[in-house]
Structure 1
Amino acid sequence: MDLRFSRLRAATAPLCLLSATPALAETTAEPAGEAQRKSYPAAYNGDAAAAPGGYALSRWAEDWRVMQNPAKRDDPLDRLKFIPLDDDGDIYLTVSGELRLRMNLTTNPNLRDAQAQRQDINRETLGADLHVGPHLRLYGEVSHGGLGGRNLGTPAATLRNDLVLLQHFVEVGADIGSAEVGARYGRQEFTDGPNILVSQRDNNTIRYTLNGFRGWVRGAKARLTVFDLKPTAYGDLGTDDDVIDPARRFSGATAGFVLPKTLLGGSQLYLDLFAWRRRNLVGTWGGRIGPATRYYAGAQLRGDVGRLGLDWSVNHQWGTFMNQGIDAWQAFLAQTWRIGNGPAKTAPRLGVHVDYASGGGGYGQGKLRNAYAPFGNNIYFSYQLYLTPSNLVAVTPNASFTPFRNARISAEYELAWRDDVHDAVYRANGQPFAGTQNGRGRKIADVVRAQMVWNATPRLTLTGRYEHLMARAALTDAGYRSSDFIAGWISYRF
């Protein structure tokens, strides 16, 4: 089959992470090389890795060794994917890049009666991946974020940034027996967990990165990741003001297992168990600022059972915030049903995701029961970033279909309530909507959302989004309004 079309199919895989629901397409087949050495399936190994010759959200999760063969190259840019630096090709360089042009339009910004906000955004990213034999790798990536428009307020450094040394790390690895063993140190993206809890946050112009150590062992049926990381605190000028955040630290372990295919009468299911700790010297709840240590113990089950796609996760959180104990829960249950007998990737799907994040105690009463996502996908509940998995109950029917080749449309209707009416409504940055803690309305909002993604070529993607948030009593009683949001962007990658 023509390599261009195989790359185009591979390029669609990371886009599911940007949509309103978790990735529920049927399980991606293992690349042939991995199947031969019986490694853990790449799509579930904690890197969200792409098939060889395909694009991934984290560009270091790509494998371009196929371009060592000149017959596989379609254009001059393909030469940049494998630049040999020695005679036998053991030392080689892969160059990657992205240009993204985007426009966001939001009415009633911050859900207040105000003039609409328009953001004109550009992102330019360039990366280099140097492989020195099979055991050593060095990766570096720089990015620029530009922002214009109207009613911008004070832009965050993740929206406007002159230049960021976004990622830079050294990685070592080897096959020991039947296992793949590796370690990475430096600035890196980390997504080994439920997408609602840990994500690169590609919606931002400058993506989320952390600094420190990550190590792994991967076999055919089981894997283990351990890590100790601190987030990057971005400035908005040159690379000198992007520093390691001394106040926050994220560490822990994730273990993954390939479940037997005979389970439930025939399935492809993957189970992850995780135990994490997040420390924050400047935690904030209810206007109080102080040290917080939060522990997470949870599980994620994902994959397919016949026509049913699953992405289920649950976690318990405990610890302390100042002198207040923490006792919180989250559960995210997403499922879709494939309709018809067509190819799994293009078939229509109907689904629903039911989400729960406990709330209460944010203003100092009793235990702190507000759940918290360390750095999750911040558009999962609202493209406008007005909802987050803390003090939230949501039920969201959804549908998706392919209107024409290489395009996907998804739509959903979300109903959102507070778990505890004595606590606030929280937005994606963790801050409360001021005053909502004083009202007693339970319903937060109804949210209508639609998205279309078209992979026009293997490198060129066009995306459009729309959201209408209808504010209900939990918001309107505190003076907040409904809002519309529309966004469109074009992304070119190589």
Structure 2
Amino acid sequence: MMRDPKKRKDFLDRLKYLPIDAAGDVYLTLSGEVRLRADYYSNPGMVDSEYRVEEKLRLVGGADLHVGPLRFYGELAHGGLAGHNYGTPTAKFRDDLFAQQFFGEVGGTIGPVTLGARYGRQEFTDGSSTLVQQKDNNSIRTVEQGLRGWAQLSAFRVDLFDFEHVKLGTKGLSDDIPDAQTRFSGVTAGVVLRDDKTHKLFLDPFVWRERNDKQRWGSITAREIRRYYGARLWGSYGDLTLDWTAAHQSGEFAGRAISAWSVAAAQTYVLNKKGWAPKVGVHFDYGSGGGSFGTGTIHAARPVTAGSVAYSYQGALMTTNLFQVSPNFTVSPARTLDVTVEYQRSWRPSETDAVYRGAGTAYAGTQRIVGDHIGDALHLQASWKITPRLSLTGRWEYFAAGDVLEGVGVADSHYFGSWLNFRF
């Protein structure tokens, strides 16, 4: 698009098309991001303790070279961390220099079919964000390394991939490597159910397989092979926006069978398109539990690489052994400003399984506590799109522990976060 000078609005648009040859068929595109973020936790880790402040910096620079049907993309990132009482920095928050993406890609069309293949380190977003995402909450985003290929028609597409997760270090480029103890592969399809002016609905069935040689359930760490069979229905139907995903999870862990379910159903309805454009919504999130401690079949669901911010910005909860109902209400006092308030109530489906933190580890001893009420949370978030490239977000969250977490000494906690993002 930026090949046309009439569509460039400022000097940064010029960086989106830098021709190298006279014909303009070989060209370079530059991109970047700067994010300044501060997070406050009144009781970090949901433990009655001294407050924590995390001051995070993200810097990203990318270059995208197009040579006919070939594409070569590279992206370097820096993650910085300072503040108060933040402990030993982990690589997802502090990394001097990280090769966030570097891949080669080839693509083209054969008749009505668009084909492509990509190899190298890359972000992977194909599927529900409740199962797979890059964890944008972190300074360094989650990426995969391997091969991806696709074929697309006007109303149907198929995407195949075979990856290893990337293991992060903190010392620069030398210690960020593919993790040979993991493998994530599968196929995702896509069908356009309806696509017109007022209705856009898409169905994405998927079959995935993940191997993790260091998965932990209860007191045992061993190899787990987990298969995901499911589908995502998403899009809009008039004033209703929806995103539904259901998946059955099977496999084996240390000689034990796995049989679990995960369901996520989010929907938002526009009450009025005029004025403050109020919207009302609710999302239901379910991840089965049971069998993590002891013997027999494991019924505990888990995502592949999805983070925990949908359930708690404090990392209080994960979708494993969780049922959560979250009604919300959004208004837009200005065209570029959205304000959302949300209430969450959380239970656990299995009283014999633990409650799980955002990192996927169990709250010690919760599997022995009677009851199912995990806790309640209140969220307030405001997002201001200052310019097309610059945005400011503020979020407050209060988490109140329920009977199960109170039984093991978990404390109520406040969270406040604010982040300024600039992207081009």
TM-score > 0.5, shorter chain as reference: yes
Matched, 1:306 2:238: yes
Give matches, 1:61-460, under 5 Å.
Answer: 66-133=1-68, 135-260=69-194, 267-342=199-274, 347-460=277-390
Between 1:79-88 and 1:227-236, the stretch displaced more is 79-88
Shift of 1:303: 1.2
Question: Partners of 1:150 and 1:267 in 2: how far apart?
Answer: 49
Partner amino acid, structure 2, of 1:315: A
Question: Partners of 1:467 and 1:328 in 2: how far apart?
Answer: 30
Structure 1 residues 110, 308: CA separation in 2 closer, same or farther (over 3 Å shift)?
same
Deviations 1:30-79 (A, max 9, x none): xxxxxxxxxxxxxxxxxxxxxxxxxxxxxxxxxxxx22222332332222
Question: Partners of 2:277 and 2:20 in 1: how far apart?
Answer: 44
Contact 2:250 2:257 in 1 (8 A): yes
Which of 451, 457, 473 matches 2:403? 473
Shift of 1:261: 5.7
Question: Partners of 1:120 and 1:363 in 2: how far apart?
Answer: 37
Question: Partners of 2:370 and 2:128 in 1: how far apart?
Answer: 32
Question: Partners of 1:130 and 1:221 in 2: how far apart?
Answer: 29
Deviations 1:153-212 (A, max 9, x none): 122100011110110000000111111100000000001010110111111100000000
SS, match of residue 294 in structure 1: strand
SS, match of residue 36 in structure 2: strand
Contact 2:307 2:358 in 1 (8 A): no
Deviations 1:433-490 (A, max 9, x none): 1121121121001011121111101111101111000001110000111000000011
Between 1:472-481 and 1:70-79, the stretch displaced more is 70-79
Partner amino acid, structure 2, of 1:277: R
Shift of 1:378: 2.5
Deviations 1:127-154 (A, max 9, x none): 0010111x10000000001100111112
Contact 1:252 1:275 in 2 (8 A): yes
SS, match of residue 457 in structure 1: coil
Contact 1:324 1:364 in 2 (8 A): no
Contact 2:19 2:25 in 1 (8 A): yes
Deviations 1:199-234 (A, max 9, x none): 111111000000000000111100000000001101
Partner amino acid, structure 1, of 2:242: L
Partner amino acid, structure 2, of 1:252: G
Shift of 1:429: 1.3
Deviations 1:319-361 (A, max 9, x none): 1000211000011111111112449xx7321011111110011
Shift of 1:237: 0.7
Shift of 1:267: 3.4
TM-score by length of 2: 0.97
Which residue of the partner structure matches residue 36 of structure 1? none
SS, match of residue 215 in structure 2: strand
Question: Partners of 1:267 and 1:123 in 2: how far apart?
Answer: 37
SS, match of residue 189 in structure 2: strand
Question: Partners of 2:163 and 2:330 in 1: how far apart?
Answer: 36
Taking every aligned residue pair, what percent have the same amino acid on both sides?
A: 45
Contact 2:392 2:421 in 1 (8 A): yes
Structure 1 residues 187, 261: CA separation in 2 closer, same or farther (over 3 Å shift)?
closer
Question: Partners of 1:204 and 1:236 in 2: how far apart?
Answer: 14
Partner amino acid, structure 1, of 2:387: T
RMSD: 1.3
Partner amino acid, structure 1, of 2:233: L
Structure 1: which 5+ runs fail to align?
1-65
When the two structures are aligned, how many residues end up with a matched partner? 423
Structure 2: which 5+ runs fail to align?
none
SS, match of residue 2 in structure 2: helix
Question: Partners of 2:218 and 2:378 in 1: how far apart?
Answer: 29
SS, match of residue 110 in structure 1: helix
Question: Partners of 1:142 and 1:378 in 2: how far apart?
Answer: 25
SS, match of residue 153 in structure 1: coil
SS, match of residue 77 in structure 1: helix
Structure 1 residues 260, 238: CA separation in 2 closer, same or farther (over 3 Å shift)?
closer
SS, match of residue 213 in structure 1: strand
TM-score by length of 1: 0.84
Question: Partners of 2:321 and 2:10 in 1: how far apart?
Answer: 51
Question: Partners of 1:379 and 1:197 in 2: how far apart?
Answer: 12
Question: Partners of 2:299 and 2:78 in 1: how far apart?
Answer: 39
Deviations 1:354-387 (A, max 9, x none): 1111001111232100001001142111111111
Structure with the bigger percentage of helix:
1
SS, match of residue 256 in structure 1: strand
Matched, 1:493 2:423: yes
Shift of 1:111: 0.8
Shift of 1:428: 1.7
Structure with the bigger percentage of strand:
2
